[in-house]
C-alpha cells in the first residue's frame, strides 16, 4: 500500500481537512484546522506531502519523525497543525486497514463512554443562567463559558464583579451536581488573575482556563496556580511535550492539548502520558470540526488520565455550517446524558461526506477571530 495523494479542504465554518489517498488501500481523513490561520497550514501540508507520496501509510511514527524533524526548523502552530492533520489521516488509514477503531490500536478502551461539555455564552448573568439551564436540560453535566470581555491590565472592581457575577449565574443555574469551566483566553495579567481567582474560588468551577497567556505560563503560571485551589487548565496553544513540561511543572490541574494543533494523535498520546506522570488529566481542546473531535474521542477512549472532552455541536461561528454537516452518519456524535458513546467503526470512526466537503471547499472560508480593544484603543486579548 502506497500513498498516492494528499489533499486539503478549507471548509465552512472554519475547518481545514486533510485527505490521504492510497493505491490499493483505504483513504484517510484528518483535520489541521488552525483557527484564523488555516491557509498557511494548508500550504505546509502541501510541502510535507512531497515526502509522503509513494510512502507506506502504515509507518506512522517513522513518518512523524521525518515530518517534524527533517525541516530543521520545527514545531510552532503552523507546522504542528499540518503534521497533526496528516497524522490523524494516517491513523484513520491504519484503523481502516486493520478493521479496528484507532482506540483499539492504542491499547483498547479504558472507559465505556466519554464525558463531553458544551459551550454557553453571554455578557449578562440572566443569559448565562438560561443557557446553562438549557444545556443541563439537554443532558449535559458540564459547560464552559467565556469570561468577561476586554480587560485592562489592572481593571476596576466593577470588571471583577462582572466576571464573578457571570460565573455565579452559571453555578446557580447548574446547582452543585454539575460543572462549569471558565475560559479567559489569556485576558488577565498575572496580577489580575490572582485577584479574580480568589473571588471565583467559592463558586468552585471545574477549572479556569488560560487565566494568563501561554507565553507567560512557563515562568508565571506557578504564581497563579499556587494562589488558588481552582484547577488551572491550559494547553490549546502548546504544541508538543517540551511545551507542556513547564506548565505541568507549574502545577496545572488540566492539560488541554489540541489534537489538530499538537502533531496529532501520536504526540497527543505522548502529551497525555507525560501529563499522567504529573497526576494531571487531559481535556483535549476541540472547538473544531468532526475529524478533530473524532481523533480526540479515540484518544479519550484509550487514555486513563482523561477528564472531559470539548466539542462544538450547534456552534455556527457566524456561518450556517456546523459540526455535523460533513458526516454521512451524524449519530456518531449522539451525546446522551452528557456522554458520547464509544465509536465502533474502523479508523477515526466517522465517515466523511466527500461530496459535501468538495462542494464546501469550492467556497472555502476566511474565518478570523475578532480584534478587541482596551478603553485606550490598544490591543486586547479576545
Ligand atoms: O477553548 C476554546 O475552545 C477557545 O479558547 C477557542 O480555542 C478559541 O475561541 C479559538 O477558537
Ligand atoms: Mg480556550
CB 215 within 8 A of CB 246: no
User: Ligand 1 centre from 222 Cα, in Å?
Assistant: 22
**HSE-up (13 A, CA, CB side) for residue 153:** 3
89 and 121, same domain (yes or no): no
- Residue 36 placed within a domain: yes
For 107, residues 6+ apart whose C-beta sits below 8 A from its C-beta are 302
pLDDT tens column, 279-324:
999 999 999 999 999 999 999 999 999 999 999 998 999 888 999 9
User: Ligand 2 centre from 231 Cα, in Å?
Assistant: 14
Among 263, 270, 229, CA closest to 255: 270
CB 79 within 8 A of CB 44: yes
Which of 63, 103, 185, 365 is catalytic? The answer is: 185
CATH code at 295? 3.20.20.120
- Residue 29 placed within a domain: yes
232 and 287, same domain (yes or no): yes
Numbers of helices and strands, H then E, in the chain:
12, 14
255 and 339, same domain (yes or no): yes
24 and 157, same domain (yes or no): no
Q: Which ligand is nearest to the CA of 369?
A: 1
- Residue 372 placed within a domain: no
As given in the structure block, the three cell numbers for residue 56 are 507506506
159 and 16, same domain (yes or no): no
Among 51, 111, 46, 119, CA closest to 85: 46
How many Å apart are CA 368 and CA 159, to the nearest integer?
26
**HSE-up (13 A, CA, CB side) for residue 302:** 23
- Out of 103, 122, 145, pick the residue that ends a domain: 103
Tens-level pLDDT at each residue, the chain (382 residues)? 999 999 999 999 999 999 999 999 999 999 999 999 999 999 999 999 999 999 999 999 999 999 999 999 999 999 999 999 999 999 999 999 999 999 999 999 999 999 999 999 999 999 999 999 999 999 999 999 998 777 899 999 999 999 999 999 999 999 999 999 999 999 999 999 999 999 999 999 999 999 999 999 889 999 999 999 999 999 999 999 999 999 999 999 999 999 999 999 999 999 999 999 999 999 999 999 999 999 999 999 999 999 999 999 989 998 889 999 999 999 999 999 999 999 999 999 999 999 999 999 999 999 999 999 999 999 999 9
Answer yes or no: is the C-beta of 144 below 6 A from any ligand 1 atom.
no
How many Å apart are CA 119 and CA 240, to the nearest integer?
26
Answer yes or no: is the C-beta of 285 below 6 A from any ligand 1 atom.
yes
- Out of 103, 119, 154, pick the residue that ends a domain: 103
Count of domains in the chain? 2
Atom of ligand 1 nearest to the CA of 209: 1
pLDDT tens column, 365-374:
999 999 999 9
- Whole-prediction pTM: 0.98
User: How large is the ipTM?
Assistant: 0.97
190 and 238, same domain (yes or no): yes
Q: Please report the sign of the dihedral spanned by the C-alpha atoms of residue 154, residue 157, residue 159, residue 163.
A: positive
User: Ligand 1 centre from 371 Cα, in Å?
Assistant: 14
- Residue 353 placed within a domain: no
128 and 223, same domain (yes or no): yes
Answer yes or no: is the C-beta of 179 below 6 A from any ligand 1 atom.
no
Residues in the chain, total: 382
Among 103, 66, 8, 35, CA closest to 318: 35
How many Å apart are CA 359 and CA 93, to the nearest integer?
23
Residue 185 among the catalytic residues: yes
Distance of CA 258 to the CA centre of its chain: 4
CA dihedral angle for residue 108, residue 16, residue 115, residue 298, rounded to 10 degrees: 0
59 and 111, same domain (yes or no): no
- Residue 355 placed within a domain: no
Atom of ligand 1 nearest to the CA of 256: 1
- Residue 379 placed within a domain: no
- Residue 357 placed within a domain: no
Q: Which ligand is nearest to the CA of 209?
A: 2
38 and 150, same domain (yes or no): no
CATH code at 74? 3.30.390.10
Q: Which ligand is nearest to the CA of 310?
A: 1
Mutational test site, ligand 1, from 287, 314, 317, max ligand atoms within 8 Å of CB: 287
Neighbours of ion ligand 2 (CB under 5 A): 183
- Out of 73, 103, 133, pick the residue that ends a domain: 103
318 and 225, same domain (yes or no): yes
91 and 112, same domain (yes or no): no
Residue 261 among the catalytic residues: no
- Residue 369 placed within a domain: no
Q: Which domain holds residue 88?
A: 3-103
Amino acid at each position: 500500500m502506497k500513498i498516492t495523494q494528499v489533499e486539503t479542504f478549507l471548509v465552512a465554518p472554519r475547518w481545514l481537512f486533510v485527505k490521504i489517498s492510497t493505491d490499493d488501500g483505504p483513504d484517510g481523513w484528518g483535520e489541521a484546522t488552525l483557527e484564523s490561520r488555516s491557509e498557511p497550514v494548508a500550504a505546509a501540508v502541501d510541502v510535507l506531502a512531497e515526502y509522503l507520496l509513494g510512502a507506506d501509510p502504515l509507518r506512522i511514527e517513522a513518518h512523524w519523525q521525518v515530518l517534524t524533524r527533517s525541516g530543521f526548523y520545527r514545531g510552532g502552530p503552523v507546522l504542528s497543525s499540518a503534521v497533526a492533520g496528516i497524522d490523524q489521516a494516517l491513523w484513520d488509514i491504519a484503523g481502516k486497514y486493520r478493521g479496528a477503531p484507532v482506540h483499539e490500536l492504542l491499547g483498547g478502551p479504558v472507559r465505556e463512554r466519554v464525558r463531553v461539555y458544551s459551550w454557553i455564552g453571554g455578557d449578562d448573568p440572566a443569559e448565562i443562567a438560561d443557557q446553562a439551564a438549557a444545556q443541563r436540560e439537554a443532558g449535559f453535566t458540564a459547560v464552559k463559558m467565556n469570561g468577561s470581555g476586554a480587560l485592562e491590565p489592572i481593571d476596576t472592581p466593577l470588571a471583577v464583579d462582572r466576571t464573578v457575577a457571570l460565573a455565579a449565574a452559571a453555578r446557580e443555574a447548574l446547582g452543585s451536581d454539575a460543572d462549569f469551566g471558565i475560559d479567559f483566553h489569556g485576558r488577565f495579567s498575572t496580577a489580575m488573575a490572582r485577584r479574580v481567582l480568589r473571588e471565583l474560588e467559592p463558586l468552585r468551577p471545574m477549572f479556569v482556563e488560560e487565566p494568563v497567556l501561554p507565553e507567560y505560563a512557563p515562568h508565571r503560571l506557578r504564581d497563579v496556580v499556587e494562589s488558588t485551589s481552582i484547577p488551572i487548565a491550559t494547553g490549546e496553544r502548546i504544541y508538543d511535550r517540551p511545551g507542556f513540561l513547564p506548565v505541568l511543572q507549574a502545577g496545572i490541574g488540566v492539560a488541554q492539548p489540541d489534537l489538530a494543533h499538537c502533531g496529532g494523535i501520536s504526540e497527543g498520546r505522548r502529551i497525555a502520558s507525560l501529563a499522567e506522570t504529573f497526576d494531571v488529566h487531559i481535556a483535549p481542546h476541540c472547538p473544531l470540526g468532526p475529524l478533530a473531535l473524532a481523533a480526540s474521542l479515540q484518544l479519550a477512549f484509550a487514555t486513563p488520565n482523561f477528564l472531559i472532552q470539548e466539542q462544538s455541536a450547534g456552534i455556527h461561528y457566524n456561518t450556517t455550517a456546523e459540526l455535523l454537516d460533513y458526516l454521512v452518519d451524524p449519530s456518531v456524535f449522539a451525546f446522551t446524558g452528557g456522554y458520547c458513546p464509544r465509536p465502533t467503526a474502523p479508523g477515526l470512526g466517522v465517515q466523511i461526506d466527500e461530496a459535501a466537503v468538495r462542494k464546501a471547499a469550492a467556497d472555502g472560508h476566511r474565518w478570523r477571530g475578532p480584534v478587541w480593544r482596551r478603553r485606550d484603543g490598544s490591543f486586547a486579548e479576545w
